[in-house]
């Protein structure tokens, strides 16, 4: 395909910066393939880098990355206090949230730049785009309710997540300066179609609302929960209100190079302590399953406090393999590679054909100017955040 056709196709679908990026990369790839074929073979991609086309395309792509221009469409919702950025691609994914003129609270993976157009199929693997995503649960049943990939079904695979929910480009149903509604695709893996809404709050300037609706698109019953997954750098310090130590289960992923998580429950708050990775190890890594005492959790990240609020549900409504709150921490010696996932499960439902279930979160970000210690964090949660946001169980006397 000629260069002008690539540009026309890309620009018909994307914003100006993105269309140029996609066009040059595809042109470069096409040029490299043509040169390889002219030499009698289609060489592996790793051997095509000698070609001018690929070098040119990569140079342009790297320039876009260095200027923080993403290779996916980004829609921005903002007011005088906060900024939220979402892409309708990659399943309709949250890419940035923060106070205005502050660093992004979310961690976004490099593949958002380098792999902006993933394969959407039942054989696709996972790609670390990160940001904010919506899954269905429980994880142990991800591939058991489908016929699109028999091997994963028979193995009862618990990885990767549904590629149709996480990779497909969604359709913009509604877009205003304060609200974005995205409609996903029918998934042959999960049997649902997701509709996501991102909106600036009408009640607080420092808050956004995130909604998800899952509709059963099959002619048979299915059973799932809705699962919000919000990723932050591992340096963020997270707190969860807990009534009893028995409401927390910790699974550490340990071997000779992976250390255990450092957990603490004091004053009614669960936290993951920060400590240098022991010598000879590369990370502390594990998963926390919790039944919270109230419908919120919070993370301190630099000069911002990120609070996620959600409807609090009884343990009996949550699938027994999951927790209403889950935390995944990969705290690596190289902090730039670390990851914290703040996850919320809604109640587990059986859906008849055409039936829907929904879940929501409220995200609030408050300015924070105190030290990065547990004592200072707990004091701020009780003295400031609890009062502003009516957070129950944020203070020891609650």
User: Rounded mean pLDDT of 239-260?
Assistant: 93
Confidence of residue 55 (pLDDT cuts 50, 70, 90): low
pLDDT at 334: 87
Q: In the chain, what percentage of residues exceed pLDDT 90?
A: 77
Tokens for 235?
């340096």
Asked if residue 76 lies in contact with residue 176, where contact means CB atoms within 8 angstroms, the answer is no
Q: Which of 300, 212, 312, 54 is nearest to 45 (CA)?
A: 54
For the chain, the average pLDDT equals: 87
pLDDT at 177: 98
**Predicted structure pTM score:** 0.85
Of the listed ranges 21-30, 259-268, 294-303, 348-357, the least confidently predicted one is: 21-30
Of the listed ranges 43-52, 57-66, 199-208, the least confidently predicted one is: 43-52
Rounded CA-CA distance 370/183 in Å is 41
pLDDT tens digits, 142-175: 999 999 999 999 999 999 999 999 999 999 999 9
Q: Where are the domain boundaries for CATH 2.70.98.10 in the chain? A: 75-389
What does the angle CA 216 – CA 219 – CA 224 come to, to the nearest 5 degrees?
35
Which residues on adjacent β-strands are paired with residue 381?
Answer: none
Top CATH class, 75-389: mainly beta
pLDDT at 366: 98
> Tokens 């105190």 identify what position?
370
Rounded to 5 degrees, φ, ψ at 265 are: -125, 110
Cis peptide before 246 (omega within 30 of 0): no
pLDDT at 31: 45
Q: Which of 125, 163, 133, 158 is nearest to 144 (CA)?
A: 158
Torsion angle, alpha carbons of 268, 272, 273, 277, to 10: 160
pLDDT at 335: 85
Does residue 39 have a pLDDT over 50?
Answer: no
Of the listed ranges 62-71, 156-165, 368-377, the least confidently predicted one is: 62-71
In sequence order, which residues have a C-beta less than 8 Å from that of residue 191 and are 6 or more positions away? Answer: 145, 146, 216, 217, 218, 220, 222
Does residue 293 have a pLDDT over 80?
Answer: yes
């Amino acid at each position: 395909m000629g260069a002008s056709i690539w540009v026309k196709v890309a620009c018909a679908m994307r914003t100006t910066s993105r269309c140029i990026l996609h066009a040059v990369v595809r042109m470069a790839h096409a040029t490299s393939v043509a040169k390889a074929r002219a030499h009698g073979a289609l060489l592996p991609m790793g051997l095509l880098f000698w070609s001018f086309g690929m070098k040119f395309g990569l140079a342009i792509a790297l320039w876009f990355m260095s200027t923080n221009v993403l290779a996916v469409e980004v829609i921005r919702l903002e007011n005088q206090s906060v900024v939220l950025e979402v892409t309708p691609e990659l399943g309709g994914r949250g890419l940035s949230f923060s106070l205005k003129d502050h660093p992004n609270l979310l961690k976004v993976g490099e593949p958002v730049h380098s792999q902006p157009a993933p394969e959407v199929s039942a054989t696709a693997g996972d790609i670390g785009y990160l940001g904010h995503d919506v899954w269905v649960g429980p994880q142990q049943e991800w591939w058991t309710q489908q016929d699109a990939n028999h091997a994963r079904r028979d193995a009862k695979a618990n990885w990767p997540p549904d590629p149709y929910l996480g990779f497909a480009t969604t359709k913009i149903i509604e877009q205003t300066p304060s609200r974005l509604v995205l409609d996903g695709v029918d998934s042959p893996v999960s049997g649902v179609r997701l509709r996501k809404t991102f909106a600036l709050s009408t009640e607080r300037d420092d808050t956004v609302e995130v909604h998800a609706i899952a509709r059963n698109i099959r002619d048979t019953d299915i059973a799932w929960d809705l699962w919000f997954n919000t990723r932050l750098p591992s340096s963020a310090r997270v707190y969860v209100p807990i009534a009893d130590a028995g409401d927390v289960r910790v699974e550490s992923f340990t071997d000779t190079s992976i250390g255990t998580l450092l957990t603490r429950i004091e004053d009614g708050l669960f936290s993951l302590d920060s400590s240098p990775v022991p010598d000879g190890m590369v990370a502390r890594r594990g998963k926390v399953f919790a039944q919270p005492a109230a419908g919120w959790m919070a993370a301190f990240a630099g000069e911002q406090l990120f609070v996620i609020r959600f409807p609090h549900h009884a343990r009996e409504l949550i699938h027994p393999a999951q927790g209403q709150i889950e935390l995944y921490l990969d705290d690596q010696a190289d902090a730039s590679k670390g990851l914290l996932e703040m996850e919320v499960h809604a109640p587990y439902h059986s859906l008849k054909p055409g039936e829907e279930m929904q879940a929501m979160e409220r995200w609030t970000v408050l300015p924070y100017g105190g030290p990065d210690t547990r004592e200072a964090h707990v004091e701020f949660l009780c003295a400031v955040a609890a009062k502003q946001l009516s957070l129950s169980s944020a203070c020891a006397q609650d």
